[in-house]
Amino acid sequence: MNTTKTIKSALISVFDKTGLEPIVRKLHEQNVTFYSTGGTEEFILNLGIPVVPVEEVTDYPSILGGRVKTLHPKVFGGILNRQDNESDVAQMQEYAIPQIDLVIVDLYPFEKTVASGASEADIIEKIDIGGISLIRAGAKNFKDTVIIPSVNEYSLLLDIISEQNGATTLEQRKVFATKAFNVSSHYDSAIFNYFNKNHEEAVLKISETKGEVLRYGENPHQKGFFFGDLNKMFDKLNGKELSYNNLLDVDAAVNLMSEFKNDQPTFAILKHNNACGVATRPTMKEAYVDALAGDPTSAFGGVLIANGTIDLATAEEINQLFCEVIIAPSYSEEAVTLLKEKKNRIILIQKEVELPQTTVRTCLNGALVQDKDLITDSETILKTVTTLSPSEQEIEDLLFASKICKHTKSNTIVLAKNKQLCASGTGQTSRVDALRQAIEKANSFQFELKGAVMASDAFFPFPDCVEIANNSGISAVIQPGGSIKDELSITYCNENKMAMVFTGVRHFKH
């Protein structure tokens, strides 16, 4: 059975006409009859090519300000009829329905209109009705109809009709149908998510049309993919492609540094999604040097991120370290030239872009969705619960430590001094173990913990942690509070001249 079909008629109704002209001219050369509406009809006529207005087919004008143009049985009958079905063939003749072999559609730009900050009235008018119906009809009847669902497929269609003299194979039509349902499902998901932006319906609809195959997943035996648009987030200046693990670390780095966006020069070094070095200083070079001092061993092969320009002086220091990725909002030309000396080193310029306000992760046979933890602890929410209040310097360090603690794997304890990460205990099953890990690590890198501060991602049910901290010289503590035994830790601090503040906000990170 020959399933190759030659295009003899085409309905074209598109928003974006970029690249449409050569298709129309090629189809005209192949004696294809055109049907069209509105702006697309005018576009074809301006090429000097005849076109049949849809109104002539339907005997009905475009109405309601253009909201209803193609929605008619004579249009959809021409697309949906089964050419090997005797009843369909008979009804086509009975009702004088013209055969439509090719449908070319490009939908109103709903997502772009939303992103532009347009009014709700303008957004609603960009919900395409006729176009989306044409796409679904053409895709459903792929056995007989070619459907081109967006401007992205114009070039592929032109190649096929040029090479095959206006003919298409069943396999090609099915490929176009697959692309069509991808377009229609994504479009509907975008519209639903716009209407459901306040989560009135507990429904998860994720649709990403831009995906790339990664070298592998977390390990070489696992397949890996990234769905998103990295080009919107970063300009890549150098290096190999980002891997699955790189992307996880970059995500952690970007989220952490968002806490320090408006602070003095701040530098962070991350390894396996956790910060191993962070410092805020008068210059970026000093911030990098002191961040590296937090754990120069773990920094090897890490991800580096800055909240400001990386200049040549900073780049000269960085260039002495093997690192996978460097991220900053800008670089000096000299810094880029130097950093590019390592051809595999990934250098990213981070752009201003709005990130998702929710997080999604697979869980069991479904998914967990939650609002992002967008609370950054500030001085306004601090409640001093001890007799001794923290000094101004201690408050700065407590908030600095709290920002890092929020982005460190639970259970965690973060130790900081003079806006420098001394050490952290990460991902421990016991908060006491997390504290002991942090103290041991800080001591191994010769940090003087006398006068340092401690941040915890959750409350202390017992006074053991503040006692261990006090014995190491730590003078102030920040924690959410909320334990029925809070008073035990408060009493210990009062008896040992330690300051403690509560935030009332827990920052678990599982």
For 423, the enclosing helix (H) or strand (E) is strand 421-425
The answer to whether the beta carbons of residues 40 and 69 sit under 8 Å apart is: no
The strand order across the sheet containing 383-384 reads 383-384, 499-502, 476-479, 453-456, 413-416, 421-425
DSSP for 343-358, please give it. Answer: TT-EEEEEP--PPPSE
Enumerate residues 6+ apart whose C-beta is below 8 A from 189: 205, 206, 207
Q: Partners of 353 in the beta sheet?
A: none
Q: Partners of 366 in the beta sheet?
A: 363
Q: Is 97 exposed, middle or buried (0-12, 13-18, 19+ CB in 10 A)?
A: buried
- Please compute, for residue 345, the number of CA atoms within 13 A of its CA located in the half-sphere on the CB side: 22
224 vs 245: CA distance, rounded Å = 10
- Say whether 8 is catalytic: no
Enumerate residues 6+ apart whose C-beta is below 8 A from 321: 292, 299, 300
- What token pair was written down for 110? 């709903």
Distance of CA 363 to the CA centre of its chain: 20
The strand order across the sheet containing 323-328 reads 234-238, 346-350, 323-328, 302-306, 266-271, 274-280
Q: Which of 8, 17, 140, 342 is catalytic?
A: 140
- Say whether 72 is catalytic: no
Q: Which of 186, 205, 272, 342 is catalytic?
A: 272
Enumerate residues 6+ apart whose C-beta is below 8 A from 371: 357, 358, 359
The answer to whether the beta carbons of residues 370 and 262 sit under 8 Å apart is: no
Q: What angle do CA 464, 419, 315 make, to 5 degrees?
A: 135
What does R_g of the chain's alpha carbons equal in angstroms? 31
The catalytic residues are 140, 272
